[in-house]
Chain A
C-alpha cells in the first residue's frame, strides 16, 4: 500500500508524462496501467489531487465537467527551481538546506587538487 507521498509522486508523474490535463477518471486509469493504482479508490485520487492543488503543483479546470487536472509547471521547471535553491541562487541565505560543499569556483577547485597532491 503506497504512502500518500508516493501517491502524490505517482500522480505528478502521470500528469507530467501525459503533458495534458486529465480527469480524475483518466488519472485513475493511467495509474492502474502503471501498476500503482490497482487498488486506488476514486476518493483517494481526489484527495491526492486536492493536496497537490493546495501545494501549488496542480491546477483544476472547473469550467468543464468533469473537472480536469493539470500540472502547473513541467518536471524540468520544478527541477530547475530545486537546483536553483540547492546551488545557492536564492540570494538571501536563510539556512534552508545544508550542502556537503558550498559554492566553489574552478580556481578554488584546482587549489583543492594541489592540496591533496601535496599531502
Chain B
C-alpha cells in the first residue's frame, strides 16, 4: 500500500509540473487542437486522481492493500468494529489533507459553475432586451448575399458601433450576438467565418472544459501550472473553433476576419514601427492568442497523422486508467 502511495505521489508530481510545461511547449498541439485538449483534460483529471489517491492510500494504509479495503476499514472505525488507534498521526494528516484538497476543488468547481451560469443568465436577459433577431435586420441585405448567413437561428444583432461577436453558451439554449459595427466591418465570407467559429463553441460545448480549467486555476491561483493550463486550453479552444470555420471559408479570409475584429488598422501602419521591432513583437506576441491564430492560419498546414493522434488519445486514456487501477485493483504487484 505504501509503495502504491509513493507511486501515485510521483505520478501526481509529474502531472503537476513537468508534463504540463512540456505539453504547453509542444508545437504539434496547434496542428491537432482536439487531441491536445483531450490530453490536457486527461492530465488534469489524472493529476487530481493521483494526488487524492496518494493521500488516501497513505492515510488508509493500516486498513488494507486497496482503497476499497481502506474505505471499509475507515467506515469500521465509526461502526465500532475497528479502533481509531489503528491510524497514526501521519495517516490522519493525509486523510484530512485529502478531504480538504478534494473538497476545495469540488467546491470551487461548483461555485464557479453557479456564478458563471448566473452571470450568463443575466447577460441573456440583457441581450434579449437590447438586441433584435439578425434575420429581421436591414443590415443583413447589404452587402451580404443571403446564403452567407445560412442558418440564422440563434443569431442576434445589437446596435453598437464596436465590432464584437460572441456567443453565450448554455446547457439548453445559446445565443450568438453580432454587433452592427461588425456587420459593417466585415464582408460576406468573413462574416460567415465568424458565425461558424462561434457555432463551433456552442455545438462542441467548449464552455464546459473552459469552466473546469478556470475553476482549477481559481482553486490553486498561486500554482503557475494552473494559469498556464488555463491559457493553453483557452487558446486551443479558439483554434478548434477556427478549424470548424476553415471548413467553409479559406484560411486567409478567416485570418483577415480575426485581424479586422481585433482592430487591425485599415491603412498601412508599418512606417510607425522600425523593422527591427518585428522580432521583439514576435516574441512578445507569442502569448497573444489573436496573433497565434493568424500565424497558424497563414502558415503551412501541417496535419498530425491519424495514427499519432490515436496514440495520444490512447495515452490520455491510459493516463486516467493508471491511478484508477492502482487504487481499485487488489495488489497490482505492489502490495
Complex: A79 Cα to B130 Cα, angstroms:
7
Complex: A73 Cα to B214 Cα, angstroms:
32
Within 8 A of B (CB), among A63-119: 75, 78-79, 81-83, 85-87, 90, 93-102, 104, 106-117, 119
Collect the chain B residues with CB atoms within 8 Å of residue A78's CB.
126, 129-130
Whether the Cβ atoms of B270 and A108 lie closer than 8 Å is: no
Complex: A75 Cα to B290 Cα, angstroms:
32
Q: Is the interface of B mostly helix, strand, loop or mixed?
A: helix
Q: How far is the CB of A91 from chain B (nearest CB, A)?
A: 11
Collect the chain B residues with CB atoms within 8 Å of residue A96's CB.
116, 119-120, 123, 168
6 inter-chain pairs at a CB distance below 8 angstroms, sorted by A residue, are: A78-B129, A112-B258, A112-B262, A112-B264, A112-B294, A116-B298
Collect the chain A residues with CB atoms within 8 Å of residue B132's CB.
9
Beyond A100-B197, A115-B259, 15 extra complex contacts between A and B, CB < 8 Å: A9-B129, A79-B158, A82-B158, A83-B162, A94-B214, A98-B210, A101-B258, A101-B262, A104-B288, A108-B262, A114-B281, A115-B291, A115-B298, A116-B264, A117-B268
Q: Say if the beta carbon of A55 comes within 8 Å of chain B.
A: yes
Q: How far is the CB of A52 from chain B (nearest CB, A)?
A: 9
Collect the chain B residues with CB atoms within 8 Å of residue A98's CB.
166-167, 169, 198, 201, 206-207, 210, 237
Collect the chain A residues with CB atoms within 8 Å of residue B265's CB.
106, 109-110, 113
Which of A5, A101, A119 is close to B298, meaning CB atoms less than 8 Å apart? A119
Name which residue of chain B comes closest to A97, CB basis.
Answer: B166
Whether the Cβ atoms of B129 and A12 lie closer than 8 Å is: yes
Collect the chain A residues with CB atoms within 8 Å of residue B288's CB.
104, 108, 111
Complex: A102 Cα to B288 Cα, angstroms:
9
Which of A95, A100, A101 is close to B210, meaning CB atoms less than 8 Å apart? A95
Whether the Cβ atoms of B285 and A97 lie closer than 8 Å is: no
Q: Say if the beta carbon of B248 comes within 8 Å of chain A.
A: no
Q: Is the interface of A mostly helix, strand, loop or mixed?
A: helix
Whether the Cβ atoms of A57 and B129 lie closer than 8 Å is: yes
Whether the Cβ atoms of B168 and A101 lie closer than 8 Å is: no
Complex: A83 Cα to B263 Cα, angstroms:
16
Collect the chain A residues with CB atoms within 8 Å of residue B25's CB.
none
Q: How far is the CB of A110 from chain B (nearest CB, A)?
A: 5
Complex: A99 Cα to B179 Cα, angstroms:
12
Q: How far is the CB of A1 from chain B (nearest CB, A)?
A: 16
Q: Say if the beta carbon of B152 comes within 8 Å of chain A.
A: no
Collect the chain A residues with CB atoms within 8 Å of residue B82's CB.
none
Complex: A97 Cα to B165 Cα, angstroms:
10
Whether the Cβ atoms of A81 and B273 lie closer than 8 Å is: no
Name which residue of chain B comes closest to A104, CB basis.
Answer: B262
Within 8 A of A (CB), among B179-224: 194, 197-198, 201, 206-207, 210-211, 214
Complex: A114 Cα to B294 Cα, angstroms:
11
Contacts A82-B126, A100-B198, A119-B252 hold; do A111 and B112 have CB atoms under 8 A apart? no
The proximity string for B residues 225-244 relative to A, scoring 1 for CB distances below 8 Å and 0 otherwise, is: 00000000000010000000
Which of B116, B264, B268, B291 is close to A94, meaning CB atoms less than 8 Å apart? B116
Q: Say if the beta carbon of A8 comes within 8 Å of chain B.
A: yes
Within 8 A of A (CB), among B159-177: 160, 162, 164-169, 177
Whether the Cβ atoms of A108 and B120 lie closer than 8 Å is: no
Name which residue of chain B comes closest to A100, CB basis.
Answer: B165
Which of B123, B129, B197, B294 is close to A116, meaning CB atoms less than 8 Å apart? B294
Collect the chain A residues with CB atoms within 8 Å of residue B194's CB.
100
Q: Say if the beta carbon of B269 comes within 8 Å of chain A.
A: yes
Within 8 A of A (CB), among B108-131: 112, 115-116, 119-120, 123, 125-130
Which of B129, B272, B291 is close to A108, meaning CB atoms less than 8 Å apart? B291
Name which residue of chain B comes closest to A109, CB basis.
Answer: B263
Whether the Cβ atoms of B211 and A95 lie closer than 8 Å is: yes
